[in-house]
Amino acid sequence: MELLHILLTLVVVVLGTKLFYWYRRRLVFIRTIDKIHGPPSWPLLGTVLYDLVPRDKLFKHAMARTQTFKPVYRSWTGPSAIVHLTRPEHIELIMNNSKNIDKGFGYNFLHPWLGTGLLTSNGQKWFSHRKMITPTFHFQILETFMDTFVQKSDILTDKLSQQLACKEGFDIFPFITKCALDIICETAMGSEINAQASSESDYVRAVYDISTLVLERMMRPWLWPSLIFGLTRDGKRHEENLKILHGFTRRVIEERKAARAAGGVREGNDLDENFGNKKRVAFLDLLLEASESSETPLTDEELREEVDTFMFEGHDTTAAGLAWTLFLLGSHPEHQDKVYAELEEIFADDPGRKINSRDCAQMKYLERVIKESLRLFPSVPFIGRVLTEELQVGEYQLPVGCMLNIEIVSLHRCADQYPNPEVFQPDNFLPENVQKRHNYSYIPFSAGPRNCIGQKFALLEEKCVLASILRKFKVISLEKLDDVTIMIDLILRPASGVKVKLEPRHKIN
């Protein structure tokens, strides 16, 4: 009994000592964070009560909060500290840092779907996969996808032609989203889902549904524990969607591997001599080739994670970018006229011919329009990071373990970087104006080591889709910006879509 008493005493002493030192570290952490001003905070709850607003008012509330507390402020989600950054010189400190690259807590909710692919992974796995995948986004390879961009854009314009008789207008967002899904599915996996032809696809439905479920879970802390979430109706729907999404991707991987083994897929290193060949190579084929030549080939599960990541990042963000650009052009006919005039000049030799990559390279004004749209409405409005090393930001020393919220949507509205920041002005992206700004004043595709690997792909796709639409139709927005409710989902989207009318395109006199 005496020995047991001694052992129990030792356990209590050890645990008490650990608890004491944890509490002391925690107290230092809290005091350090609370040196930064921010919304009122309550014990255990943090600033949750301050941010307790309906989802359709969350964007306006977040922008108002930033206006009140910027440029650097803190909030608390329960026990988790978040420091918000809104200035380019502060954001550069984290974006241009090769060590503080770990993603924030919110990305954990994507793990069941995306695993630890490029978007969600950290450390050595992220580094090795990034190094392996980067060559598959070479511009010469991207050019081989033009046929897919054009083909799916033609289907889109045919679908939109059926809406010309709709004099009261319609929501163009679902049409754009299905087109983007068709494009990314064929380019990422080499497989067609024909989302534009049929909305009954299980895969299409599962992509839409799981995105909603992930966001709703993020917004409800009581659903964060996987055990609790799995018992709910939403948790069961989430699991059913995962089976559909993962099953489809795994089946495609098996088929592509079998085709490669049988010699039925052209390899990426044949691109130079076969340039212009109509046979398409998917990212999955290029990834398989890169993996096979690597010292540490990707497992089937790692392949699945990366392909699912391509699918997630490559359709929703692009669809949002396209929809916002059409909304802005439909609201500013003078800029739409300039885009059309540029297209008329590019296709003057043959107005009816298909778009190619050389045409896209000449679409300078359209490119400025796309960039300005992404400035005002970045598809991903916030990026989360967690500090693995201390960081000095202005007068504040940020501790290890602190989460950062990089507010892209606020950054893009810095008045000292963009005169009249709320006004749609494509000339913000004239070369002489770009040179005047801070290098980190515009980051719709992130920046630094963890920048978006597919940004050239996205820009080429958006040019092709927008040019296809604007060559055939004049777009008229039926709502003003003040009437649009902006929603913060996994992307920045208009709550009720983008309501437009279309008119057959006539030549500008």
| Distance separating alpha carbons of residues 341 and 348, to the nearest angstrom | 10
Nearest of 184, 118, 190 to residue 462 by alpha carbon: 184
Quote the CA–CA distance of 175 and 322 in Å, as a whole number.
Answer: 11
378-416 core/surface letters (b: 16 or more CB in 10 A; e: else): bbbbbbebbbeeebebeebebbeebbbbbbbbbbbbbee
The architecture of the domain spanning 1-7+59-269+277-389+405-504 is Orthogonal Bundle (1.10)
Beta carbons of 102 and 454 less than 8 angstroms apart:
no
Angle, alpha carbons 283-306-215 (nearest 5°): 125
Mean pLDDT of 274-299: 72
Residues forming a β-bridge with 77: 46, 80
- Average pLDDT on 221-226 reads 85
Q: How far is CA 46 from CA 75, 78, 234, 316, 396, in A?
A: 7, 5, 26, 32, 20
Summarize the annotated binding site for heme as residue ranges.
452
CA dihedral 92, 97, 101, 104 (to 10 degrees): -40
- Axis-axis angle for helices 364-376, 300-331 (nearest 10): 100
pLDDT at residue number 1: 62
Q: What is the pLDDT of residues 352-392, one digit of tens each?
A: 899 999 999 999 999 999 999 999 999 999 998 999 889 99
Closest CA to 346 of 470, 262, 509: 470
Neighbours of 358 (CB within 10 A): 10
Using a pLDDT cut of 90, give the percent of the chain over it.
Answer: 45
Tens-digit pLDDT profile for residues 36-74: 999 998 887 788 778 778 878 888 999 999 999 999 999
Cβ 481 vs Cβ 331: under 8 Å: yes
Question: Looking at per-residue confidence, does 132 or 70 come out higher?
Answer: 70
Where does the pLDDT of residue 279 fall: very low under 50, low under 70, confident under 90, or very high at 90 and above?
A: low
Over residues 227-278, the pLDDT tens digits come to 999 999 999 999 999 999 999 889 888 888 888 877 765 544 444 433 344 4
Q: Work out the mean pLDDT of the chain and round it to a whole number.
A: 87
Specify the pLDDT at position 205: 83
Binding region: 452
Q: Provide the residue count of the chain.
A: 509
Closest CA to 465 of 322, 254, 357, 330: 322
Whole-prediction pTM value? 0.89
